[in-house]
Amino acid sequence: MAGFLSMLKQSTLVHLCFAISFFTSGLIINTVQCILYVGLKPFNKHLYRTIGYYLCYSFYSQLVFLADWWSDTKLNVYASDEDMKYCGTEHVLLLMNHTYEIDWLLGWMFCEKVRVLGNCKAYAKKVIQYIPTIGWAWKFAEFVFLERSFEKDREIIGRQINEILDYPDPVWLLLNAEGTRFTEQKHEASVKFAQEKGMVPLKHHLIPRTKGFTASLPFLREKCPAVLDIQLGISKDSKVKPTIFNILNGKQIEAHLCVRRFPTETLPEREEDAAVWLQELFREKDRMQDSFHRTGSFFTDSGVAERPKLQLHRRPTTLVNTAFWVVATLTPMLYYLVMLLFSGEILYFSIGAGILFAFYMLMVKAIGMSKISKASSYGAEKLKNGHSPTHEPVEPTAAESSKDK
């Protein structure tokens, strides 16, 4: 039985069914979002956002299902009782290391368990809003889309944060301060830059860009009570690498996630001091990551106070939601595809085969996108050219990013 289940999870046909269900449900959700955006938001923004929460949750949780139920991925959370008391009850800005291909999905797993998945948002490049399903969903969900021109982005950040913090339920807003996912090549450029500027090089992170953080902070102080630092670690000796392909193939990944809460009121008010605070935070995060890889614990050699280990259980809502969409989308889709393929007409057979091929290519493209940092070439090039991270426009990675976050 175990062998059959393993074979089923690695079946391309099953993966294709997931892709058909996910993209079809995404288009349905986008359509509903569009109708509400035009017909409801101008008259009742509160109700629009409340309904939008459940639409986004229904969409995102299909991916969380793959991690939680399909691959049985284990997420070990380290957080104090005091910090966990606030999780899911307030607006927060999230700062998270951008190290792994699936760090966005592991973050979504945590957000789902504290019931904020539908209100996960992020700083994202403007071009992402034009991508069907996920990009359109983020556009209607009022993500912070930026243009890479800091003067324009400063205005956008202020306007969008004020909009987001008016949400009726807690919003978690993700900022990947490193600007791009960690790779050896980008790390070499980051170390070289730090040495040239007299800064402390980081072993496991890229030098953070501070402009996006310092530009956001003044708008967060009034309605955003805290900044949450998320440190994610996965053992380098793990037999199953943290990739979306392994998740899709049902292979279990074990991840460790440390949560620390910093009240906004305790953060420096001057922009220069806030930039220094962020740089120091990343040096601390670097010590935590180094301790984790050497000892298996974030706390042994990092100087950071130890947090208790929590095991947050997966919730059945992601399973029920995914099952609903699989039945609702695959039943009519597969019926008509079978009718086309076995119609005996070359034209209808070609149409059916073309539809299947299109969904297959969408699946391959989606997996490929999860492996590529949306800001990678830009971030690496800026470091190579000697530009200071403190003067860069925000370089978000929402799609990786990504979302209750």
Q: Are 169 and 50 in contact (CB under 8 A)?
A: yes
Q: Which residue has the tokens 């042994």?
A: 300
The reported pLDDT for the residue numbered 216 is 92
CA 143, CA 120: separation in Å to the nearest integer?
Answer: 9
The reported pLDDT for the residue numbered 202 is 94
> What sections of 74-233 are H helices per DSSP?
81-86, 103-113, 134-140, 150-164, 184-196, 211-220
Residue 207 DSSP one-character state: P
Q: Tokens at residue 80, please?
A: 């104090």
3-state secondary structure (DSSP) of residue 166 = coil
Query: Other CB atoms closer than 10 Å to residue 373's CB: what's the count?
Result: 24
Q: Under 8 Å CB-to-CB from 255, ≥6 apart: which residues?
A: 73, 74, 75, 76, 106, 232, 233, 234, 242
3-state secondary structure (DSSP) of residue 236 = coil
Q: Which residue has the tokens 């229904």?
A: 58
- Write the pLDDT tens digit of every residue in 280-327: 999 999 999 999 999 999 999 999 999 999 988 899 999 999 999 999
Beta-bridge partner residues of 10: none
**Given its phi and psi angles, is residue 344 left (phi above 0), alpha (psi -120 to 50 degrees) or beta?**
left
Q: Are 172 and 121 in contact (CB under 8 A)?
A: yes
Q: Which residue has the tokens 């939008």?
A: 52
Look at the alpha carbons of 12, 319, 232, 139 in this order and tell me if their dihedral is positive or negative.
positive
The reported pLDDT for the residue numbered 387 is 41
Say which CATH architecture domain 1-318 belongs to.
3-Layer(aba) Sandwich (3.40)
CA 295, CA 41: separation in Å to the nearest integer?
Answer: 51
Domain boundaries, the chain: 1-318
Predicted TM-score (pTM) of this structure = 0.85
Using CB atoms within 10 Å of the CB of residue 5, give its burial: 0 to 12 exposed, 13 to 18 middle, 19+ buried: exposed
Q: Are 16 and 359 in contact (CB under 8 A)?
A: yes
Q: Tokens at residue 265, please?
A: 């009121």
3-state secondary structure (DSSP) of residue 123 = strand
Using CB atoms within 10 Å of the CB of residue 46, give its burial: 0 to 12 exposed, 13 to 18 middle, 19+ buried: exposed
Q: Tokens at residue 362, please?
A: 């969408």
Q: Tokens at residue 305, please?
A: 């106070």
Per run of 10 residues, the mean pLDDT along the chain (length 405 residues) is: 80 85 93 96 94 96 96 95 94 94 94 95 89 92 85 86 90 91 91 89 93 91 93 93 92 96 94 95 96 95 94 92 94 76 67 67 60 38 40 36 37
CA 203, CA 198: separation in Å to the nearest integer?
Answer: 16
3-state secondary structure (DSSP) of residue 343 = coil
Q: Under 8 Å CB-to-CB from 266, ≥6 apart: which residues?
A: none
Using CB atoms within 10 Å of the CB of residue 339, give its burial: 0 to 12 exposed, 13 to 18 middle, 19+ buried: exposed
CA 142, CA 137: separation in Å to the nearest integer?
Answer: 9
Q: Tokens at residue 203, please?
A: 């072993």
User: Taking Cα atoms as reference points, which of 88, 46, 141 lies closest to residue 315?
Assistant: 88
User: Taking Cα atoms as reference points, which of 381, 388, 378 lies closest to residue 189?
Assistant: 381
